Structure 1
Amino acid sequence: MSNRSLTGGMKVFFLILVGQFVSLTGSGMTGFALGVWVYQRTGSVTRFALVSFFASLPGILISPVAGALVDRYDRRRMMILSDVGAGFCTLAMALLLWSARLEMWLIYLFVALSSAFVAFQWPAHSAAITLLVPKGQLGRASGMVQTAQAAAQIIAPLLAGVLIVRPGVLGIMLIDVATFLFALFTLLAVRVPAPPEGAWEEGAPKGSLRREALYGWTYIRARPGLSGLLRFFFLTNFLMSLALVLISPMVLSFSTPVVLGVVLTFAGVGMLAGGVLMSVWGGPRRRIHGVLGFSAFQALFMIVGGLRPSAALVAVAAFGFLFANAFVTGSSQALWQSKVAPDVQGRVFAVRRMAAWAAMPLAYLVAGPLADRVLAPLLAPGGALAGSVGRLIGVGAGRGIAFLFIVSGLLTLLLVLASYLHPRVRMVEDELPDALPEEDAKPAPT
């Protein structure tokens, strides 16, 4: 392959990445503003967490069908469908807010619909990267994606924290719609090549959408190392989401929305730093070490974040957590991209996302009631744990959530150890052959 071919594929990758970065920034601004709007008007941690629940569950449930359609049709068109649908949902909420008719059940409805459209985005984008980026550069490409996501996470709360005063939540939503349009234009300007000959999975079903959707499960179950890794992510995602969905109420319990924006921005700086380093370095040579080792660092930072009601301490913990997350996600993504045949990546990645992320809405559903009805009373002044745990982490508003951070971090450390001791997970890279042919570059799209 020529250097020109390499350059052509990378140019398309970068252009798509820029569009997604702008769109992620807009979505992050809406998410921040909507979360503050809901919490300040209801004062309910449960209702706040339910927004995250409805924003994740539909997309997870529809993932296998979305993955099958991604493998059937042009992946660029699937990303276009995702952006158009999600942008429409945000516009609908903006119009309802403008007419003073936005209610909680309507928020739940439209974030759920948006989640269903976004379900097409991730498998389509991930599979497209495999076709545009050389195999040896997949780790760096994952790092670049992490960098873009981190930059969006830094910019979004900063802008939203300022703009929530004027032009307010409505103005932020309209800006979000504009970012969807920008991402749409970048996708319309490029083409993504089809999977090359010789990179097809033998035995993959064709014709029946139901059979194609179920094939992702069959593929992963036949590979114990991948299925073990998927179980690891299911359990750690549950534990981490159980605590992290409540970081905003925890910070707001002792500080202001402006400080919360600074904390979340600092978290984004950590993810940006991790993403940049991952882009330059490419991650550990043994990617499973990157997944498990940096997951352990994430667990430690979760524990630190719950120790005291201090915005500075939470900001440091959030920085470290997302710094490590860039390596966990980048290493995992590169591992899966190199071990799964390109023509079935849409289906396999969709099922992978569904299984790993299914824990998140469950955690969101449990987190609010657990914090409101169980942990808050235990760590209230005079509560059952006030004289023991409360002496270490404090008592009062938000301390029950902090205790949840600490317990979740400790359990995550145990899961990392158990997964490393599992030989199929530890040796997954040795036991599975590479699915991509050895080559210097990908063909440029025509």
Structure 2
Amino acid sequence: MHDGIRRFVVIWAAQLLSIIGSSLTGFVLGVWVYQRNGSATEFVLIMLCAVLPEVLLSPLAGSLADRWDRRRMLMVADAGAAAVTGALALLLVLGSPEVWHVYVITVAGAVFGTFHMAAYHAMMPLIMPQRHLGRANGLMQVADSVKIAAPLLAGTLLVTVGVTGVVVIDLVTFLVTRVVMFAVRLPREVTRPGAAAAPEPLRGDLLFGWRHLRARRGLFQLVVVLAAYNLFFGMSGVLVQPLILSFGSAAVLGALMFAGGAGVFAGGLVLSAWGGPRRRVRGVAVFVALGGALLALHSLAPSPWLIAVVAPAFLFTLPFVQGTGMTVLQVKTDPAALGRVLSTVRALTQTATVLTYLAAGPLADRVFEPMLAPGGALSGTLGAVIGTGEGRGIAAIFLITGLCLVLLAPLAYLQPRLRKVESELPDAEDVHAPAEPAAGRGEAGPGTDVAHVAQGDSDAALSRP
């Protein structure tokens, strides 16, 4: 086995364990707040506290990931997150914490998590040989299945070991991750690929990722597609639990959430074994359209059997959209700029997620649910197709967002810069590839960075009509 592949798998497995612990803690804290006050608004506020720091701090985190040693940055971020979790454990031991304590802890954990993700996502593509990046992103997407399926395991642990026990498990996973990151040896070109170059002033560096993407129209359009995908998919993702509870019990909800997680897990495994389509942009468009059709099918009937089929099928497509799109961005981005560029991508796509959190509830409760109630404005038209009554307004949102994804796919593929981005933009340097002999560098000369020369040619090509 290639050393890079071995390192990737070891680090990925340790990080997956940490994600499991953090997902369990996040879920039980939400349950604790909801059980204490019965407020859906406070429950949603926890989700916003977990996402907003990433939107606001990702550019700074990405800049630091390209300036500092990425492994050390990851380990420091993990230590900070562990300290936050330890503070939560102490509050639980000393007495019942207040709700505002949970908000502060969630924000603090999300801040450290933002810096962790910036270092992690900048480093991991360089550990794996470039030809295997599609498979690597398949494994990275497997983590999403853990987040979706966490409620089932967390519910069991909540009954057996309580909130304090779940937090202790989370602390143990932090310890394991830190030991693994300390033990695995990583080459300098992975942890500090741009150390030889003088960094830009920090203030200007914060906008580097934005300027980089804007100068490469095809990559920018790909990020817009991924953000739109997050917006439409996220709208339904936030509302899937209320949809299921409108016709099923809590036990049915748990079983269907687990089935959905299994769909993501299977999709990630298939992507990791296959590596993804050869023509990646076309593959993203195909899976966006397929996923949109499956999302729209959620609306056909208030049936757990329908959801049991279409939800895992839809979530199976998710890794192929997000993982394949991420592979294109990684392949086309210089290793020294991965932190800034990928953090900007995360900020943009997570902004769409925040908009989803803010809009989903009001759209369901104040617009579509009343319109699809018996005698509502849409009861005789759309209601004749998907039914009327409790949950049918949410089903209408599934139908609309699914159709929007079906429409998004061809609109994206019709953009020439996006469709041709894989051929117009040169691939970034593969840190695992053997160095080219000086004679093979043509007119660039022995002291010139070939990747930067190729990138300049690419920018000139993009400026032509």
Q: Describe the SS at the equivalent of 2:160.
A: coil
The yes-or-no answer on 1:281 pairing with 2:277 is no
The yes-or-no answer on 1:101 pairing with 2:94 is no
Q: Which residue of 1 aligns with 2:383?
A: 390
Larger Rg: 2
Deviation at 1:437, TM superposition (A): 4.2
The yes-or-no answer on 1:328 pairing with 2:324 is no
- Asked if 1 retains the 8 angstrom alpha-carbon contact of 2:194 and 2:336, the reply is yes
Distance 1:417 1:61, change over 3 A: same
Structure 1 segments unaligned to the other structure (5+ residues): none
Deviation at 1:207, TM superposition (A): 4.5
| Separation in structure 2 between the aligned mates of residue 110 and residue 51 of structure 1, nearest angstrom | 10
Q: Describe the SS at the equivalent of 1:101.
A: coil
Amino acid at match of 2:163: V
The yes-or-no answer on 1:400 pairing with 2:393 is yes
Q: Which residue of 2 aligns with 1:227?
A: 220
Q: Describe the SS at the equivalent of 1:191.
A: coil
Deviation at 1:38, TM superposition (A): 4.2
Q: Which residue of 2 aligns with 1:367?
A: 360
| Separation in structure 1 between the aligned mates of residue 41 and residue 349 of structure 2, nearest angstrom | 23
Distance 1:90 1:338, change over 3 A: same
Task: Decide which of 284, 291, 294 is 1:291's aligned counterpart.
Answer: 284
Q: Which residue of 1 aligns with 2:61?
A: 66
- Asked if 2 retains the 8 angstrom alpha-carbon contact of 1:376 and 1:401, the reply is yes
| Separation in structure 2 between the aligned mates of residue 11 and residue 438 of structure 1, nearest angstrom | 16
| Separation in structure 2 between the aligned mates of residue 300 and residue 387 of structure 1, nearest angstrom | 24
Amino acid at match of 1:433: P
User: RMSD of the alignment, in Å?
Assistant: 2.7
Q: Deviations over 1:128-159 (max 9, x none)?
A: 12321111111111112223543x34763332
Q: Which residue of 1 aligns with 2:21?
A: 26
Amino acid at match of 1:64: P
Q: Which residue of 2 aligns with 1:410?
A: 403
**Alignment map for 1:209-228 (pairs within 5 Å):** 209-228=202-221
Structure 2 segments unaligned to the other structure (5+ residues): 436-465
**Alignment map for 1:147-162 (pairs within 5 Å):** 147-150=142-145, 152-153=146-147, 156-162=150-156
| Separation in structure 1 between the aligned mates of residue 342 and residue 26 of structure 2, nearest angstrom | 25
Q: Deviations over 1:157-199 (max 9, x none)?
A: 33213223233334323322322222222212223323379x7
- Asked if 2 retains the 8 angstrom alpha-carbon contact of 1:131 and 1:192, the reply is no
| Separation in structure 2 between the aligned mates of residue 205 and residue 293 of structure 1, nearest angstrom | 42
| Separation in structure 2 between the aligned mates of residue 242 and residue 141 of structure 1, nearest angstrom | 28
- Asked if 1 retains the 8 angstrom alpha-carbon contact of 2:63 and 2:205, the reply is yes
Tell me which moved more, 171-180 or 228-237: 171-180
- Asked if 1 retains the 8 angstrom alpha-carbon contact of 2:189 and 2:431, the reply is no
| Separation in structure 2 between the aligned mates of residue 71 and residue 161 of structure 1, nearest angstrom | 39
- Asked if 2 retains the 8 angstrom alpha-carbon contact of 1:131 and 1:194, the reply is no
Distance 1:117 1:224, change over 3 A: same
Task: Decide which of 155, 172, 182 is 2:166's aligned counterpart.
Answer: 172
Q: Which residue of 1 aligns with 2:451?
A: none
Q: Describe the SS at the equivalent of 1:368.
A: helix
| Separation in structure 1 between the aligned mates of residue 360 and residue 123 of structure 2, nearest angstrom | 35
The yes-or-no answer on 1:110 pairing with 2:105 is yes
Q: Which residue of 2 aligns with 1:184?
A: 178
| Separation in structure 2 between the aligned mates of residue 108 and residue 441 of structure 1, nearest angstrom | 49
Distance 1:387 1:31, change over 3 A: farther
Q: Which residue of 2 aligns with 1:436?
A: 429
Tell me which moved more, 358-367 or 207-216: 207-216
Q: Deviations over 1:333-372 (max 9, x none)?
A: 2211111000111011111111122111111012122222
- Asked if 2 retains the 8 angstrom alpha-carbon contact of 1:143 and 1:282, the reply is yes
Amino acid at match of 2:262: V
Could you state the TM-score of these two structures normalised by the residue count of structure 1?
A: 0.89
| Separation in structure 1 between the aligned mates of residue 421 and residue 195 of structure 2, nearest angstrom | 19
Amino acid at match of 1:404: I
Q: Describe the SS at the equivalent of 2:337.
A: helix
Amino acid at match of 1:82: A
| Separation in structure 2 between the aligned mates of residue 90 and residue 256 of structure 1, nearest angstrom | 32
Identity %: 44
The yes-or-no answer on 1:54 pairing with 2:49 is yes
Distance 1:23 1:196, change over 3 A: closer
- Asked if 1 retains the 8 angstrom alpha-carbon contact of 2:127 and 2:190, the reply is no
Tell me which moved more, 32-41 or 230-239: 32-41
Q: Which residue of 2 aligns with 1:140?
A: 135
| Separation in structure 2 between the aligned mates of residue 87 and residue 257 of structure 1, nearest angstrom | 32
Q: Which residue of 1 aligns with 2:252?
A: 259
Q: Higher relative CO (CA 8 A, sep ≥ 6), structure 1 or 2?
A: 1
Distance 1:370 1:216, change over 3 A: same
Amino acid at match of 1:192: L
Q: Describe the SS at the equivalent of 2:159.
A: coil
The yes-or-no answer on 1:348 pairing with 2:349 is no
| Separation in structure 1 between the aligned mates of residue 246 and residue 90 of structure 2, nearest angstrom | 31
Deviation at 1:120, TM superposition (A): 1.8
| Separation in structure 2 between the aligned mates of residue 255 and residue 93 of structure 1, nearest angstrom | 34
Amino acid at match of 2:158: I
Distance 1:411 1:40, change over 3 A: farther
Distance 1:258 1:183, change over 3 A: farther
Tell me which moved more, 51-60 or 421-430: 51-60
| Separation in structure 1 between the aligned mates of residue 376 and residue 167 of structure 2, nearest angstrom | 41
How many matched pairs? Answer: 434
Q: Describe the SS at the equivalent of 2:207.
A: helix
- Asked if 1 retains the 8 angstrom alpha-carbon contact of 2:288 and 2:409, the reply is yes
Deviation at 1:61, TM superposition (A): 0.9
